[in-house]
């Protein structure tokens, strides 16, 4: 489990790997919050996430919702099957701006 945050100019990239569950979510949230600004564009890479639960999805949803009225762009650049499956089953996919998911 790890989160890597890279910020260049007005754009941040979060690379999350391993477990995105209740056991790690607080740590990730704190790390993201430190860097968070509603004016920054965000790319999220979930390719290497192999375990996710609703608390993990809720974190991503909250970030999305927080940027809803901002001009900043947020997108998930890639995601693992596990995450995609969980988003579908929980219907939280609707929170995401699905056009911004790059396959």
Partner 1 sequence: MSIEDTFREEADELLIDLEAAMLELEEQPDDADCVDRAFRAMHTIKGSGAMFGFDKLAAFTHHLENAFDLVRSGDLKITKELISISLDSGDHIRDLLEVKESNSDIDQASQQLLDRLKLLVGTESDNGSNSLNDADVIIEQDDATSEDIKTYRINIKPDENSFANGMDPLPILRELNDLGICNVTACTDELPEFDKYDAEKCYLSWEIILSTDQVLNSIEDVFIFVDDDWKITIEQIDESDNASSVTEYNCHVEHQDEHINLPEKIDSKNDDLAILVDKQTIPETLPIKKKSKKQKTKEVVNVKVPAEKLDSLMDLVGELVIAQARLNQSAGVLHDSALTNIAEDMERLSSELRDNTLGLRMLPIGTTFSRFRRLVRDLSNDLGKQIELVTEGGETELDKTVIDKLSDPLIHLIRNSIDHGIETPEVRKASGKSEKGTVLLTAVHSESNVIVTIKDDGSGLDAEAIREKAIERGVITLDSTPTPQDLYNLIFDAGFSTAKEVSNISGRGVGMDVVKRSIEDLRGKVSINSVPGEGSTVTIVLPLTLAIIEGLLISVSKENYVIPLTIVEECIELTKQEVMQANGKQLIEVRGELVPYLRLRECFSNDSDNPDIEQIIIVKNGSSRFGFTVDEVIGQHQTVIKGLGKMYEGIHGVAGATILGSGDVAIILDAPALIELAVTDNNTMH
Point out which residues bind partner 1 (CB under 8 A).
21-22, 25-26, 28-29, 33, 36, 52-55, 57-59, 61-63, 65-66, 79, 81, 84, 86-96, 98-99, 101, 103
**Smallest distance, Å, CB 28 to partner 1?**
8
Cβ 52 vs Cβ 21: under 8 Å: yes
Query: Given the complex with partner 1, which of 5 and 101 has the nearer CB atom?
Result: 101
Tokens 């919050």: give the residue: 33
Cβ 86 vs Cβ 52: under 8 Å: yes
Query: Given the complex with partner 1, which of 13 and 90 has the nearer CB atom?
Result: 90
**Smallest distance, Å, CB 77 to partner 1?**
13
Query: Given the complex with partner 1, which of 10 and 94 has the nearer CB atom?
Result: 94
**Smallest distance, Å, CB 2 to partner 1?**
16
DSSP states of 8-40:
ETTEEEEEEEEEESTTTHHHHHHHHHHH--TTS
Burial class (CB in 10 A: 0-12, 13-18, 19+), 76: buried
């Amino acid at each position: 489990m790890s989160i890597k945050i890279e910020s260049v100019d007005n754009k941040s990239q979060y690379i999350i790997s391993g477990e995105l569950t209740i056991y790690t979510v607080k740590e990730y949230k704190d790390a993201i919050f430190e860097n968070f600004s509603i004016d920054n564009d965000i790319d999220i890479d979930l390719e290497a996430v192999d375990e996710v639960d609703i608390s993990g999805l809720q974190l991503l949803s909250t970030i999305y919702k927080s940027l809803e009225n901002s001009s900043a762009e947020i997108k998930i650049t890639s995601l693992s099957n596990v995450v995609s499956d969980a988003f579908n089953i929980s219907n939280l996919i609707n929170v995401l701006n699905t056009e911004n998911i790059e396959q």
